[in-house]
Amino acid sequence: MKEYKRETIQKTVEEINKSMFLPDIQRPFVWEEEKIYKLFDSLMRGYPISTFLYWDLTRAQIEESNIKMYKFVESNNKESEQVTNKDREKYSLVLDGQQRLTSMYISLKGTWIEKVRKNTLVKELYFNVLSGDVEDEDGIQFEFCFLPKEYGSVRLEQDKASPEVKLWVNIKKVYETDIGQAQKRKLFVKSIVETNQILKDFEDKIDENIDNFDDVLKDAGMINYFPEDEDSYSKVLDIFVRTNAGGTRLSYSDLLFSKIKLHWEQAREEFKDLIDDVNKNNFEFDTDFILKASLVFFSTNTEEIRFNNINNLNENLISSVRDNWPQIVNSVKLTVDSLSRFMITDKKMLPSYNALIPIMYWVFKNNKRTYRDDSDVDGEELAKIRIWLTKALLSGIFGGQSDTALYKCKEAIDSSTINIFPAEMIQEKIQEMKNKSMEIRDDKFDQFQYRSKESHLFLALCYRFAINFNPIMKGNVPEQDHIFSKFELEAAGVPDDKINCIYNIRFVTQTDNRKKSKTPFLEWANDLKTNKDLVFKVHNIPNRNWKVEDFETFLQERKKLLLANLQY
């Protein structure tokens, strides 16, 4: 019986794009910076990062089955290239673990690209070797960050207004050199400490963190993988599906995309072009979403919408999608374009992408080409769609049992005899489901929490869409901030569900959030001085000198102010 094997990160990374590649059934690299930071934090803490699944094949098997291999990307802005030159006898194709391995490869061998206005900023991953003592609000203990490559090997960061010191070390410096040897490491640490007197007190801490990180990369067997040598492509596809059917956003569609391409060679390019077009405004639509919509469009019952029924992705469906592709593209683009009319301008304000599918189906079924600004009928329909969509997103009807909810919407649209979006009929159909309702009650908002999927939209509505989610300056990116700080409330024994209650959360810029940080409420309020009244008004904060013991009353009073401003 085959068993799992262990390997170091260094040895694994060194095989990437040499003997280790990606199969055609994998999706693109999609991880954001924060996920990479959490991955390296987990590695430093010795947490398991789940297992990996490799498909081991000989060159002869690859050529005989005409299996396409793709390279790992070296940067987040690159696209995977197909491998044309096979100069080895054996290869491993990664079936499970692509995002994690790509993150390691980019961090240790590549670069992270960030667009700043019209300029391109090249970054590399740095490790704050003075971190590791306490967790921050996001649960991060060891701090990693992509910083400009021009910073070089080491960067000292000291805030004049704070005693906190950060010492950033480029992780490539640790990876590429034999810094694990005690003598070489201590010389490296000494060379750092000598650059600034303030670092003398941290010499042992710096040495310990660099030593531990070097062990994580080169000595500890952090990669636990299972080598699968099945030579049947269809059986491997089934293994792929089973492995990745654990509730991630991949579910089945991207995993089964190779089956689609057997009947439609241009599918990969067509899907990619559409997804690139609709994601220009900071959304994250993917193959899953387009295929789910296609299943809804051509389904005759709820079962035919499900991803986990492999028979749904049959030749008839693929032919229907291919033959109706221009209309599908139009329905997706017109619906997504309409989001800006509804003031939904960022992925954070769209807690359920599935909520767009009924709108897309209405556009598809009625072959609508555009919504005109000078048309009263179009204006009336867009108003109906906006209210319906907002209620659908806030009520969470596309959470559990989303396939059933989607088919109920399709039934309502199919049976409609009116020439305008049948919002009321859809709502009545949803009511037929157990524990599903689009009715918005005040107690529904009580369930929203700090950074929960509905929280950004709810707050944006309460702020009457006065928040800019796409600022030019990164420091102006809106973040959620606890009005009564988490640390202040934890010290008073307030439970987490109360601390993170949406009525204790406001939108602030990244800069303001860092500045306020752990400051207790009364101290923060007093520091506002003459700006206090304005700040309290902007953020719907009841104007009193609130104390921690009044926190329950504070939540009730702020709820009243927020709901008074809630408009949809």
**Residue for token digits 């793709």?**
70
Which H or E run includes 392?
helix 376-395
Residues with Cβ < 8 Å from 274, sequence gap 6 or more?
A: 290, 329, 332, 333
Q: List helix spans (H) across 279-314.
A: 287-297
Give the pLDDT of residue 237: 63
Distance between start and end Cα atoms, the chain? 59
Beta strands in 173-237 (DSSP E): 223-228
SS3 call for 103: helix
Establish how many alpha carbons lie within 13 A of residue 508's alpha carbon, considering only the half-sphere containing its beta carbon: 19
**Residue for token digits 């810094």?**
179
Query: Cβ–Cβ contacts within 10 Å for residue 293, how many?
Result: 26
* Cβ(228)–Cβ(55) below 8 Å: yes
Give the pLDDT of residue 249: 42
- Say how many residues make up the chain: 568
Comparing CA positions, the residue from 312, 391, 324 lying closest to residue 355 is 391
Give the pLDDT of residue 468: 80
**Residue for token digits 């690299």?**
29
**Residue for token digits 């590791």?**
132
What's the CA gap between 510 and 496, in Å, rounded? 23
pTM assigned to the model: 0.63
Residue 323, CA distances (Å) to 179, 298, 377 in order: 59, 12, 30
Comparing CA positions, the residue from 421, 333, 428 lying closest to residue 383 is 421
**Residue for token digits 């009807």?**
397
Give the pLDDT of residue 75: 96
**From first to last of its 568 residues, what are the pLDDT tens digits of the chain?**
568 899 999 999 999 999 999 987 777 888 999 999 999 999 999 988 888 989 999 999 888 877 889 999 999 999 899 998 999 999 999 988 999 999 999 999 999 999 876 788 999 999 999 999 988 878 899 999 999 999 999 999 887 666 788 999 999 999 988 876 777 888 888 888 888 888 888 899 999 999 999 999 999 878 999 888 877 666 666 666 555 544 334 445 555 566 676 678 788 789 889 999 999 878 999 888 998 999 999 999 999 988 766 667 778 888 899 999 999 999 999 999 999 999 898 899 999 999 999 999 999 999 999 999 899 999 999 999 999 999 999 999 998 778 999 999 999 999 999 999 999 999 999 999 988 889 888 888 999 999 999 999 999 999 987 878 877 677 778 899 999 999 999 999 999 999 999 999 999 988 788 888 889 999 999 999 999 999 999 999 999 999 999 999 999 999 999 999 887 7
Q: What is the DSSP letter of 469?
A: S
Residues with Cβ < 8 Å from 486, sequence gap 6 or more?
A: 137, 499, 500, 518
Give the pLDDT of residue 307: 72
* Cβ(294)–Cβ(345) below 8 Å: no
- Write the secondary structure of 198-247 as one string of H (helix), E (strand) and C (coil): HHHHHHHHHHHHHHHHHHHHHCCCCEEEEEECCCCHHHHHHHHHHHCCCC
